[in-house]
Structures are given as C-alpha cells and as structure tokens.
Structure 1
Amino acid sequence: MDVKRVKQILSSSAEIDVEYNGVSVWIDSLNEEDQTAMVHLQGPLEEKSTVEITELKEV
C-alpha cells in the first residue's frame, strides 16, 4: 500500500478491509516521514503495532 491510499482510508467514512500478514487490522494513524502506520488488530485484544505501510494490503 502507499501513503496516498492510507490517507484515503483514514479519511473515509466507509469500512475498508485491510490486512497485515493475513490478519485484519484497523489503521489508526500514519507517519509519512517513516512510511509507517499505527494499526490495531480487529477483535477483543486490539493489540497495537507500528508497521511498514508497504506490508499493508487492501482486501
């Protein structure tokens, strides 16, 4: 995924399915300088992680 698409997803009111390593995640924020995003797993634990945006995949 690229910065432009991550920004579109963050500003969208629609629910857009995104995966990281085959697991559904929500994108919380974007760090353009580092090309990373803060994401959390969908589900009860909501574990947060910082990941490379190139590792994110729109489903």
Structure 2
Amino acid sequence: MDAQRAKAILDSPEMIAVKLEGEPVWIEHVDVENGMATVQVGSNPVNTQTVKTARLEEK
C-alpha cells in the first residue's frame, strides 16, 4: 500500500485489518515522506518493525 493509505488507516477510528507477509500487524507510526511505517507484529507489543509501506497489505 502507499504511505498515504497507511496514514489514513492509522488515523481512522475504524479497525482496518493490515498484514505484513501474511501476518496481522497494527500500524503504530507512518513516515509518509519516506514511505515507511512502524508496525506491531501480532499481539506482542514489543515485537515492532519499521518497514516500507509497500510491503503492507490491506485485508
């Protein structure tokens, strides 16, 4: 997905499912300018990764 869509999902009051390589993630921060997002993988709050937004899939 593009960075603008990732930011819209982050800012949305609705819960929108997002996956990273088939794993559910929560978007925690989006750097629109650089096309990067920090995501929490699964339900473990300490398991975070910073990835290109292009790797994220909306489900």
Using structure 2 for the length normalisation, give the TM-score: 0.89
Q: How many residues align?
A: 58
How far apart, in 2, do the equivalents of 1:11 and 1:33 lie? 16
Q: CA RMSD in A?
A: 1.0
Displacement over 4 Å in runs of 4+:
none
Does 2:31 correspond to 1:31?
A: yes
SS at match of 2:24: strand
Match of 1:16 in 2: 16
Unaligned runs of 5+ in 2: none
Using structure 1 for the length normalisation, give the TM-score: 0.89
